[in-house]
């Protein structure tokens, strides 16, 4: 996030401060918004979802001059514990909570069917 264009003001935001922050792991940038009470939110970020803290939020808060407010908000109203489940169930594409789909194999089904009949057919 050291390049000059890594953090830019989000277009069209008139009611609050918002930035688009480049991601090192995803193709699209993160949308980070800053509330007047010091809360900073980062969309679709596993770190922010589990801790309410991520590099994108810190970078946007620092760029806007609101880093101290953000730290104070975290101390007062941030989570007292990390949400481990939301953090560890993220795959590389950022899709959370999706279990792998098991595919059945025809030979396995055949073997199970034969075992139920009391004999095992070998291949």
Report, as an integer, the average pLDDT of 99-110.
50
Of the candidates 14, 12, 57, the one whose C-alpha atom is nearest the C-alpha of residue 34 is 57
pTM above 0.85, yes or no: no
Question: pLDDT tens, 22-53?
Answer: 988 888 899 999 999 999 999 878 878 878 88
The CA distance from 63 to 19, in Å, is: 9
Length of the chain: 123
pLDDT tens digit sequence for 58-102: 999 999 999 999 999 988 888 777 666 655 555 555 555 555 455
């Amino acid at each position: 996030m050291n390049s000059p264009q890594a953090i830019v003001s989000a277009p069209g935001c008139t009611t609050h401060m918002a930035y688009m922050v480049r991601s090192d792991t995803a193709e699209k940038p993160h949308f980070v918004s800053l509330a007047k009470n010091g809360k900073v939110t980062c969309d679709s970020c596993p770190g922010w979802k589990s801790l309410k803290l991520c590099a994108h939020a810190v970078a946007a808060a620092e760029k806007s001059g609101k880093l101290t407010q953000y730290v104070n908000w975290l101390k007062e109203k941030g989570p007292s514990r990390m949400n481990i489940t939301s953090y560890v169930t993220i795959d590389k594409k950022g899709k959370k909570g999706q279990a792998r789909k098991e595919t059945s194999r025809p030979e396995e089904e055949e073997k199970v069917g034969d075992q139920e009949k009391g004999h095992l057919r070998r291949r």
